[in-house]
Amino acid sequence: MTPFQDSFGRSVTYLRVSVTDRCDMRCVYCMSENMEFLPKAEILSFEELERICAAFIRSGVTRLRVTGGEPLVRRDIGSFFSALGKYIHKPGEGGHLEELTLTTNGSRLSLHADMLRRAGVRRVNVSLDSLDFERFSRITRRGRLDQTLEGIRAARNAGLAVRINTVAMAGVNDDEFDALLSWCGEIGADLCLIETMPMGETGEDRTDRYLPLSTVRADLARRWTLEPLSLRTGGPARYMRVAETGRLLGLITPMTHNFCESCNRVRLSCTGQFYTCLGHEGATDLRRPVRDGVDDAELLTLVHDAIGRKPKGHDFVIGRRPDDPAAIRRHMSVTGG
Ligand code: SAM
Ligand code: SF4
């Protein structure tokens, strides 16, 4: 099969798959309080999702991240992980995965950590924006910090490497980055700070919350020794080592730093919409063709064509209102972070 390459010469090797739009939390930057979720019939079955993933793997996708919504709320999610796990490290005609990963809010991680390890997952990203119980529940609107902490413990006990994802929000959690760095050092996890992206209507104004990570980094550097690294893990984070803890600090800066020039990522939504850029509305429907019974060659032609149209970059601008034609109306939970 021909490997995926876009018109700017970027190879596409990384697929993020959202398995559900549903979630047991309603984080203020991600969802509105009263979300309407999609009817089940619109959501791809695990068989349909696996079929599409297999076609991508045959065409050179070697890293696959399962995300959502909250992937671990989908019933029988273990069967999907074990199906994908079969593609790990099996070079051959059908292609293979070098890495299978997960992004989760951690609420149900303690129930699934051993299953993930057995399926071949070796590292997970867990979202956690505060170590303060009350603040955590305010940000997530209905999350419980103790459950997420229990999930992180279970993941570490199961032998999974953990990266904590924290969305940096001015006036909300910007007084906690030192505490988060220390805590990550203690539990043996890496920390990744993420700039707020203007996606979807959340019922909150994100303009005041926006915090450029260049400022955060300069501030942290006054108290911590941050050694820049060239390490990349396939995603958009730029890493440095925190000398005092030995752990990594990653920064995802879609707003201040244009991370598009080296973008190798594409996304599949839980309804089979194929997105080649998080920051553009355009998508290619793969559900209809799959349900109409196209063969793999036809499916891959659609995917190759879409990748050929992958935009050079996004144009997020914080402060855009959802009714601004240039704003991204889609919630992050549709395509997954
Ligand atoms: N529910 C899982 C979780 O929270 O980890 C997976 C899906 S969630 C959409 C994936 C990541 O996107 C999370 O780390 C979350 O913090 C991040 N995210 C969601 N909305 C965002 C936004 N508007 N800007 C920046 N990051 C966002
Ligand atoms: Fe749910 Fe994750 Fe979105 Fe929070 S960030 S509402 S946990 S999908």
Domains of the chain, first to last: 4-335 (3.20.20.70)
CA–CA separation, 337 vs 148, rounded Å? 18
Q: Which tens digits make up the pLDDT trace of 203-257?
A: 766 667 889 999 999 999 999 999 999 876 667 788 999 999 999 999 998 776 5
Tell how far the Cα of 320 is from the centroid of ligand 2, in angstroms.
Answer: 21
- Nearest atom in ligand 2 to 140's CA: 4
Q: Which tens digits make up the pLDDT trace of 183-211?
A: 999 999 999 999 988 766 677 666 678 89
Is residue 95's pLDDT more than 90? Answer: no
Mutate to test the pocket of ligand 1, among 103, 193, 317 (most ligand atoms within 8 A of CB): 103
Q: Which tens digits make up the pLDDT trace of 261-291?
A: 777 789 999 999 999 887 777 899 999 999 9
Our CA angle for 273, 275, 281, nearest 5°, is: 95
pLDDT given at position 262: 73
Mutate to test the pocket of ligand 1, among 31, 194, 267 (most ligand atoms within 8 A of CB): 194
CA–CA separation, 12 vs 262, rounded Å? 10
- Nearest atom in ligand 1 to 254's CA: 25
Q: What percent of the chain has pLDDT over 90?
A: 69
Tell how far the Cα of 336 is from the centroid of ligand 1, in angstroms.
Answer: 7
CA–CA separation, 163 vs 128, rounded Å? 10
Burial of residue 39, with CB atoms counted within 10 A of its CB: 0-12 exposed, 13-18 middle, 19 or more buried: exposed
pLDDT given at position 225: 98
**Which carries the bigger pLDDT value, residue 5 or residue 206?**
5
Tell how far the Cα of 301 is from the centroid of ligand 2, in angstroms.
Answer: 33
